[in-house]
């Protein structure tokens, strides 16, 4: 015999989404209890189309109080709780779930973010209609099943979908700011583990990471054996990372992954923190572990065990200038999720650096991305515009896109149709030019040696008279001296140098690089790094040797030149440079670079010595040394 079910909901101003929720459940429950807490739209009228059991409840800033009022109206054996921005999966069979007649059931809830991302968590949503079961907590209310050993619970197979986390809904409801005073009040009234943890989550959502860390740390010692402990540790480590306290976050996660080895998100955040601190081997190992276990754990963020981990892996390889490995990883990421924006951006960046012909890049992206609708086309166009990629014009023309003038001008500029780009921008008054296009116009002014375009760029970028004068010398062919250049001008010239390489305007690049090589040391090093990034290793080597002769104790020169010597196979030179680097800058990345050198030379003794030093000096590092197929310990 089937168990009877009451749906219990609390709602307020849900006219845009209530139908979807109720349609998903109307044939699967025996009664609907809908409690309105003060709607001013058509929510009540919509609810009355489905049930006569619509009640009004005066809002008291207490979600549990409203939720418990709805439970008291239920008359059936079991109660199902949904929010208006949720809906039950079409394949859900509640009677099959209830065949075991347990006291309560945990449901997986899939939360959808903007841009196609999601995460899954679990919560009790189906339970016996019993006065002993009720909700607790003013905010982030939960059923009082924790610690009650007399109750028997299970996991439901049915899935609940939740759309309340997408950007548009969050903006519309302003949930975070609404919840903050309620959460603060809840913490004052009852500073238990759950409230402290949720307070930390609230501050994390507001990007107030210092406060988030404070509350997560208060919650941690009270959270032993609590179901949310893995998520608490992940979020604590994440907030520490946002505060650049990466090593503190890693210390937490290195212990946590041993206790919770199937929590993919732990491994993923661990990999991100390792990558930020230059522990690249540990980062690679963490992301590979994500791929090994897949999307798993109590907090499942979609893609952490697949396409997100692959993209992050590609990022580590790109930082190390291992472009083939980076390309392979990002390609697999796009095969898993074609519209994952970070992977699309990395794909285009890596192919530019690797000098993959644009025709091949375009053919590959057409096969991978396979534009199916206008939204997918817009996403791709926005990415190409943001990257200032030469393929932007090809897509605009192939799909006959009637784009805005500034987008068309950028597309023409990077398609080397300089006259076409100039015609558009020259026809615009200054007030119509977007500040974001100032650097584009400056680049075009330099390529075409056009002082009128320079004036437009200076106005759009709001540059000072001094900076405008410096750039005017550059455009006019006069000598621009290092002592005259401000920091912002140097930064603009560096970005122009990069774009000139992409456009293959090498004569113009030679001129601008000659200016940059009179600038301060860190600017010269950055120019060499741009050359290396785009495959011009011999010119970069020649310049770095000069810089080394000039400043033999500069650690950035030692690192950059050492890495380049390793890439070029100049192992003896690299060994000398790395030895000096480890002496002057004894940080982890210096030792990993030296290990990579010995690995490239297949010097097993050197590898072991450096690995042992890493283990001694940098206990955060966890990767093991494998020699001849065996792992050292």
Each residue's pLDDT tens digit, 565-581: 999 999 999 999 999 99
- Confidence label for 114 from pLDDT (cuts 50, 70 and 90): low
What is the pLDDT, as a whole number, of residue 628? 45
pLDDT of 26 higher than 70 = yes
pLDDT of residue 428: 92
pLDDT band at 116 (very low <50, low <70, confident <90, very high): low
Listing DSSP states for 318-333 in one string gives: HHTT-HHHHHHHHHHH
> pLDDT class for 371, splitting at 50, 70, 90?
confident
Give dist(CA 600, CA 484) in Å, integer.
Answer: 44
Q: Which pLDDT score, from 0 to 100, does residue 479 have?
A: 83
Within 8 A by CB and 6+ apart from 195, the residues are: 137, 140, 183, 186, 187
Tell me the per-residue pLDDT of 190-207, one tens digit each, with 9 for 90 and over. 899 999 999 999 899 888
Q: Could you tell me how far CA 336 lies from the centroid of its own chain?
A: 17
Round to whole Å and give the CA distance between 633 and 614: 12
Least confident of 70-74, 167-171, 247-251, 305-309: 167-171
Asked whether the predicted pLDDT for residue 596 surpasses 60, the reply is: yes
User: Would you say residue 472 has pLDDT above 50?
Assistant: yes
Distant-in-sequence, close-in-space partners of 354: CB < 8 Å, separation ≥ 6: 323, 324, 327, 535
Q: What is the dihedral of CA 268, 270, 276, 278, to 10 degrees?
A: -120
* pLDDT reading at 170 higher than 60: no
Which stretch of 4-13, 83-92, 171-180 has the lowest confidence by average pLDDT?
171-180
Residue 311: CB atoms within 10 A of its CB come to 27
Dist CA 124 CA 170 (whole Å): 24
pTM for the model stands at 0.84
Q: Is the pLDDT of residue 100 over 90?
A: yes
Residue 628 has a CB neighbour count (10 Å cut-off) of 5
Looking at per-residue pLDDT, the higher value among 106 and 149 belongs to 106
- Please report the pLDDT score of residue 143 as a whole number: 93
Cα dist from 548 to 347, 531, 559, whole Å: 34, 17, 11
Q: What is the pLDDT of residue 400?
A: 93
Residues near 6 by beta carbon (within 8 Å), at least 6 away in sequence: 29, 30, 31, 32, 33, 74, 75, 76, 78, 79, 80, 129
Q: Is the pLDDT of residue 39 over 90?
A: yes
What single-letter DSSP state applies at residue 624?
A: P
7 - beta bridge partners? 32, 80
List 87's β-bridge partners, or say none: 161
For the ranges 128-132, 225-229, 343-347, 592-596, the lowest mean pLDDT is seen at 225-229
Q: Is the pLDDT of residue 631 over 80?
A: no
CB half-sphere exposure, 168, CA atoms < 13 A = 6
| Residue 79: φ, ψ to 5° | -120, 130
Quote the pLDDT of residue 300: 75
The residues, ordered by sequence, that sit 6+ positions from 592 with a Cβ below 8 Å of its Cβ are 278, 279, 280, 281, 614
Q: Cα 455 vs. chain centroid, distance in angstroms?
A: 37
Q: Which of 87, 84, 89 is nearest to 46 (CA)?
A: 84
Mean pLDDT of 235-243: 98
Query: Is 299:119 a contact under the CB 8 Å cutoff?
Result: yes
3-state secondary structure of 33: strand
- Predicted confidence (pLDDT) at residue 429 exceeds the cutoff of 60: yes
Query: Taking 90 as the threshold, does the pLDDT of residue 29 lie above it?
Result: yes
Matching residue, tokens 């080397």: 416
Question: What is the mean predicted confidence (pLDDT) over 448-453?
Answer: 95
State the pLDDT confidence band at 373, using cuts at 50, 70 and 90. confident
Q: Is the pLDDT of residue 175 over 70?
A: no
- pLDDT attached to residue 227: 86
**pLDDT band with cut points at 50, 70 and 90 for residue 372:** confident
Per DSSP (E only), the strands in 59-150 are 78-81, 86-88, 104-112, 118-128, 135-136, 142-143
- For position 485, what pLDDT does the model report? 85
Per DSSP, the residues of 180-216 read HHHHHHHHHH---HHHHHHHHHHHHHTT-HHHHHHHH
Q: How far apart are CA 460 and CA 452, in angstroms?
A: 13
Residue 153 in this model has a pLDDT that exceeds 80: yes
Residue 542 has pLDDT above 80, yes or no: yes
Assign 117 a pLDDT band (cuts: 50, 70, 90): confident
Domains delineated in the chain: 5-169 (3.90.550.10), 172-411 (1.25.40.10), 416-519 (no CATH), 539-633 (1.25.40.10)
**Confidence band (pLDDT; 50, 70, 90) for 630?**
very low
- Over the chain, what is the mean pLDDT? 93
- In contact, 411 and 393? CB cutoff 8 Å: yes
375-401 pLDDT, tens digit each: 899 999 999 999 999 999 999 999 999
Mean pLDDT of 530-549: 97
Q: What is the band of 167 on the pLDDT scale with cuts at 50, 70, 90?
A: low
In this structure, the strands spanning 118-128 and 300-301 are antiparallel
The tokens describing 216, both together, are 């997560």
């Amino acid at each position: 015999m089937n168990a009877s079910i009451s749906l219990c909901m609390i709602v307020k101003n849900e006219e845009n989404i209530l139908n979807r929720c109720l349609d998903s459940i109307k044939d699967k429950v025996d009664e609907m209890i809908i409690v309105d807490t003060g709607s001013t739209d058509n929510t009540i009228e919509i609810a009355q189309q489905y049930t006569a059991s619509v009640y009004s409840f005066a809002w008291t800033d207490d979600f549990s109080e409203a939720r418990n009022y709805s439970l008291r109206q239920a008359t059936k054996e079991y109660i199902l709780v949904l929010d208006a921005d949720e809906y039950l999966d079409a394949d859900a069979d509640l009677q099959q779930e209830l065949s075991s007649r347990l006291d309560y059931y945990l449901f997986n809830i899939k939360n959808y973010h903007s841009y196609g991302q999601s995460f899954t968590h679990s919560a009790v949503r189906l339970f016996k209609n019993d006065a002993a079961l009720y909700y607790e907590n003013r905010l982030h209310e939960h059923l009082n099943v924790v610690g009650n050993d007399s109750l028997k619970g299970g996991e439901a197979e049915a899935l609940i979908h939740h759309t309340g986390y997408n950007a548009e809904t969050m903006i519309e409801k302003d949930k975070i700011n609404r919840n903050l005073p309620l959460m603060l009040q809840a913490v004052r009234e009852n500073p238990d583990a759950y409230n402290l943890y949720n307070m930390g989550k609230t501050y994390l959502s507001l990007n107030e990471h210092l406060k988030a860390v404070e509350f997560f740390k208060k919650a941690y010692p009270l959270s032993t054996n609590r179901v949310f402990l893995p998520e608490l540790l992940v979020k604590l480590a994440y907030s520490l990372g946002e505060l650049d306290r990466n090593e503190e976050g890693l210390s937490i996660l290195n212990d946590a992954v041993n206790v919770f080895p199937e929590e993919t998100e732990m491994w993923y955040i661990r990999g991100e923190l390792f990558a930020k601190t230059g522990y690249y081997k540990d980062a690679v190992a963490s992301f590979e572990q994500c791929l090994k276990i897949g999307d798993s754990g109590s907090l499942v963020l979609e893609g952490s065990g697949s396409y997100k981990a692959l993209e992050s892996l590609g990022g580590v390889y790109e930082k190390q200038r291992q472009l083939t490995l980076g390309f392979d990883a990002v390609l697999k990421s796009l095969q898993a999720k074609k519209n994952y924006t970070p992977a699309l951006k990395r794909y285009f960046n890596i192919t530019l650096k690797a000098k993959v012909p644009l025709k091949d890049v375009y053919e590959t992206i057409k096969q991978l991305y396979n534009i199916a609708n206008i939204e997918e086309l817009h996403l791709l166009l926005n990415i190409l515009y943001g990257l200032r990629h030469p393929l932007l014009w090809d897509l605009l023309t192939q799909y006959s896109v009637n784009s805005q003038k500034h987008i068309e001008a950028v597309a023409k500029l990077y398609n080397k149709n300089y006259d076409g780009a100039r015609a558009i921008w020259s026809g615009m008054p200054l007030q119509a030019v977007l500040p974001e296009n100032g650097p584009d116009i400056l680049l075009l002014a330099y390529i075409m040696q056009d002082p009128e375009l320079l004036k437009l760029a200076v106005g759009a970028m709001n540059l000072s008279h001094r900076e405008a004068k410096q750039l005017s010398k550059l455009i006019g062919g006069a000598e621009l001296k290092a002592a005259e250049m401000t920091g912002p001008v140097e930064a603009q010239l560096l970005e122009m140098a990069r774009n000139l390489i992409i456009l293959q305007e090498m004569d113009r690049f030679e001129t601008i690089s000659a200016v940059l090589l009179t600038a301060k040391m860190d600017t010269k090093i950055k120019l060499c790094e741009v050359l290396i990034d785009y495959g011009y290793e011999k010119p970069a080597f020649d310049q770095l040797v000069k810089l080394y002769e000039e400043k033999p104790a500069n650690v950035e020169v030692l690192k950059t030149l050492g890495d380049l010597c390793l890439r070029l196979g100049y192992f003896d030179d690299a060994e000398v440079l790395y030895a000096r680097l480890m002496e002057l800058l004894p940080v982890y990345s210096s030792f990993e670079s030296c290990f990579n050198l010995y690995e490239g030379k297949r010097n097993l003794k050197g590898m072991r010595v450096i690995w042992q030093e890493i283990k001694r000096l940098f206990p955060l590092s966890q990767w093991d040394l494998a020699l001849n197929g065996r792992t050292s310990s």
